[in-house]
Amino acid sequence: MTRLSVNINKVALIRNARGGNLPDLRKFAIDCEKFGAEGITVHPRPDERHVRFDDIPILKEVVTTEFNIEGYPSKKFIELVISNKPHQVTLVPDPPGVLTSNTGWNTLENQSFLQEVVQEFKQAGIRTSLFLNADITMVEPAASTGTDRIELYTGDYASSEGDERLLQHVETARIAHNMGLGVNAGHDLNLMNLKRYVDSIPSLLEVSIGHALISDALYYGIQNTIGMYKRLTRRI
């Protein structure tokens, strides 16, 4: 079974739209776990437009499954992560101000930089994951950084028709698994495309889903929605 980590950024975005503490991000994280989520993901961006840096220690206190912090490894981000020690840090190549994470690292060009950052997190006892496109040429240099896992960017899979993109994901995941890397995935996975993806990649350890899951919760409620997604992460 692939683990489901719920990204709660959009909940924080709603809270920030009016100020105050409604919805309560801390309580929402607790409830997601109570309803079956096997992890909580956050992505604090430099402009703090959704999850804020001061949310992180509050969430660290209450998340009991897996706490995953995503972000670009700036000095401020690195300090935040090391001071709060989540179970996992996922490194993304987002420049400041980007709307969403829509591509993975070029691990050939950034190999030395990533190796230095990964080692810093690993020395702090934090599992590391690198956000990658489904590109087999990026896997070996990713492995050479010492990362524990990769997270495959699935936006291209979600927007594609036919099998070509899915097959690229399958092959990239296979190579990564054979190199001893754990495989996660995320971005634009939803109730329509998740099952096919999970069934196609036996080594898939975890999916991180936020936008679609929170949107579905507006119709079905968060408890029902988490149950619906979890049923899709069970392989045939």
Give the tens place of pLDDT for each residue, 100-133: 667 899 999 999 999 999 999 999 999 999 999 9
State the total domains in the chain: 1
What's the mean pLDDT when you consider all of the chain?
Answer: 95
pLDDT band per the 50, 70, 90 thresholds, residue 234: confident
**Closest Cα to residue 138, out of 105, 95, 161?**
105
Residues 6+ apart with CB under 8 A from 4: 36, 37, 38, 39, 206, 207, 209, 226, 229, 230, 233
**Closest Cα to residue 131, out of 43, 199, 51?**
43
pLDDT of res. 162: 79
Question: Does the pLDDT at position 39 exceed 60?
Answer: yes
Pick the catalytic residue: 33, 38, 66, 70?
Answer: 70
Pick the catalytic residue: 50, 169, 177, 187?
Answer: 187
pLDDT of res. 149: 98
pLDDT of res. 97: 64
pLDDT band per the 50, 70, 90 thresholds, residue 236: low
Q: What percent of the chain has pLDDT over 70?
A: 96
Active site residue 140: no
- Which of 83-87, 159-163, 202-206, 228-232 shows the lowest mean pLDDT across its residues? 159-163
Instruction: Give the span between the Cα atoms of 12 and 148, in whole angstroms.
Output: 29
Residues 6+ apart with CB under 8 A from 60: 67, 84, 85, 86
Give the pLDDT mean for 138-163: 96
**Closest Cα to residue 152, out of 138, 134, 136, 168?**
134
Beta bridge partners of 221: none
pLDDT band per the 50, 70, 90 thresholds, residue 84: very high
**Closest Cα to residue 176, out of 218, 205, 217?**
205
Active site residue 177: no
Helix ranges (H only) for the chain are 9-18, 25-34, 56-62, 75-84, 111-123, 139-144, 155-159, 164-178, 194-200, 211-220, 222-232
Give the pLDDT mean for 85-103: 83
Residues 6+ apart with CB under 8 A from 160: 166
Exposure class string for 45-66: b at 16+ Cβ within 10 A, else e:
bbeeebbbeebbeebbeebebb
Question: Does the pLDDT at position 96 exceed 80?
Answer: no
pLDDT of res. 98: 64
Active site residue 169: no
As a residue count, the chain comes to 236
CB atoms within 10 A of CB 186: 24
Give the tens place of pLDDT for each residue, 162-207: 799 999 999 999 999 999 999 999 999 999 999 999 999 999 999 9
Residue 154 sits in a domain whose CATH number is 3.20.20.70
Cut 0.85: pTM above it: yes
Question: Does the pLDDT at position 99 exceed 80?
Answer: no
Which residues span the domain enclosing 164? 3-232
User: Are the beta carbons of 29 and 63 closer than 8 angstroms?
Assistant: yes
Q: How many CA atoms lie within 13 A of 154 on its CB side?
A: 26
Instruction: Give the span between the Cα atoms of 129 and 150, in whole angstroms.
Output: 5
pLDDT of res. 1: 86
Pick the catalytic residue: 33, 38, 43, 66?
Answer: 43
